[in-house]
Amino acid sequence: MSNAQDATNLLFVFMLAAFLGFQLIKRVSPLLHSPLMSLTNAIAAVVIVGAIMVTGEHDATPVARTLGFVAVVAATINAVSGFLITDRMLKMFRRKGD
């Protein structure tokens, strides 16, 4: 396969994943948003580990290192903000005396 075909295939997979992800999130009941947020935090942690592995690879190109660094930063922001939002949502259900 040529580089153009590879890029086209990767773009197709990205667009399909984005569409399916949007449809999945849109149809989730509001009662399930906290568990869903916890799951996305776990996925973000896996992305962080994978991005660190790509960024730290010995034979990585400068483009791969840059994209890996961007992925580490973006996934870290996603995971931390997800935990903060989940904590804030759980605080809404606590009693005043707790």
Residues 6+ apart with CB under 8 A from 51: 68, 69, 71, 72, 75
Region of poorest pLDDT, from 28-37, 47-56, 63-72: 28-37
Under the banding of pLDDT at 50, 70 and 90, the label for residue 13 is confident
Structural tokens at position 12? 């197709």
The model carries a pTM of 0.60
> In the prediction, which pLDDT does 89 show?
77
25-35: burial string, b at 16+ Cβ within 10 Å, e else: eeeeeeeeeee
Under the banding of pLDDT at 50, 70 and 90, the label for residue 7 is confident
In this structure, the number of other CB atoms found within 10 A of the CB of residue 75 comes to 21
Domain boundaries along the sequence of the chain: 30-91
Structural tokens at position 23? 């449809």
